[in-house]
Amino acid sequence: MGIPVVDLDQFVNGTPESKKAFISQLGEAYETVGFVAVKNHGIPDELIARQYEYVQQFFSLPLEKKLGYEIPGLAGQRGYTSFGREHAKGSEAPDLKEFFQYGQTLAKGDVVNEHYPDNVQVAEIPAFNDTIFSAYRHFEKSGGAMLQAIALYLGLDEFFFDPHIKNGNSILRCIHYPPITVEPKSAIRAEQHEDINLITLLVGASADGLQILTKQGDWVAVTSLPDQIVVNVGDMLQRLTNNKLRSTTHRVVNPAREHWHTSRFSMPFFLHPRSEMSLACLESCIDNDHPKAYEDISAGEYLDERLREIGLKK
């Protein structure tokens, strides 16, 4: 299934007419599919290639080295999380992956800084640290532009999300699905789930496997071209919009048997707001046909709740 394709340059640098067309295409895609492929997204291909190179080097380190970057008490929000630690909400089966997470970096003295743990620096691959910082900033900028378009589609001020995501709690996750060495109990590498955050930006994974659940109840493979990123709605945006924009269920399936010996690498950017942002349903998204579906909650409270549900926080 080819998912809808939009051109972010139409919004960032286009005419008022092209900007309006982008907003309409984006909103329609999110209401009908929940995913879009975005071209001219502003994240350099060369930067993405370098980041994947260093990610592969990191996951090739001996396990005892990687375990040195698994920091107790951080609920996987920084550094390394070992294989099988995370599971989807409502599932007891662990996902067949290990990952490394990198979060917000702020200047010392910033009032928000006290809420964020320090990022974990990888000593064995010095270039990893500068590259992931640069990638994080590019994802942040592109995600901010996407949210400006979403705000306009919702009838909000274009910059509605800007103060909420400035120095926000976003996470860049580098994932490794190791080769399959024994007959798997399931065809699923990562069980079906919805993302926690506002939106997720995903640059091309190293192998196929991502599937989304259509409104008709069918699982279909998501494909995008190398120069595109995939951007989907997360649960926080679904709550905020009272289900007008729905978080799309997705999963990662095992490859064909002839490819079991290969690894799969993926690099999603989970765009989170600051913890104090209210996720109370927007009044403009509530009416007689769409009564308020969720209790009021802050982004920080909701994240904490979900981290417990997926096994990363006790």
Please report the pLDDT score of residue 97 as a whole number. 86
Angle among Cα 284, 290, 295 to the nearest 5 degrees reads 80
Question: Shortest CA distance to 199 belongs to which of 155, 157, 154?
Answer: 154
Q: Are 164 and 217 in contact (CB under 8 A)?
A: no
Count of residues for the chain? 314
Name residue 7's beta-bridge partners.
Answer: 39
Q: How far apart are CA 214 and CA 34, in angstroms?
A: 9
Q: Are 227 and 203 in contact (CB under 8 A)?
A: no
Question: Shortest CA distance to 142 belongs to which of 92, 200, 222, 102?
Answer: 200
Please report the pLDDT score of residue 207 as a whole number. 57
Please report the pLDDT score of residue 180 as a whole number. 80
For residue 312, count CB atoms less than 10 angstroms from its CB and return exposed for 0-12, middle for 13-18, buried for 19 or more: middle
Name residue 265's beta-bridge partners.
Answer: 176
pLDDT by residue for the chain (314 residues), tens digit each?
A: 567 899 999 999 999 999 999 999 999 988 888 888 899 999 999 999 999 999 999 999 999 999 999 998 887 789 999 987 766 666 566 777 899 999 999 866 665 555 788 899 999 999 999 999 999 999 999 999 999 999 999 999 999 999 999 999 999 999 998 888 776 666 676 778 889 999 999 886 655 778 888 777 888 888 667 788 989 999 999 999 999 998 988 888 877 777 788 888 889 999 999 999 999 999 999 999 999 999 999 999 999 888 888 666 66
Provide the terminal-to-terminal Cα distance of the chain, rounded to the nearest Å: 38
Return the domain boundaries, the chain. Answer: 5-309
Please report the pLDDT score of residue 58 as a whole number. 96
Class of the CATH-defined domain 5-309: mainly beta
Tell me the pTM.
0.90
Q: Are 139 and 272 in contact (CB under 8 A)?
A: no
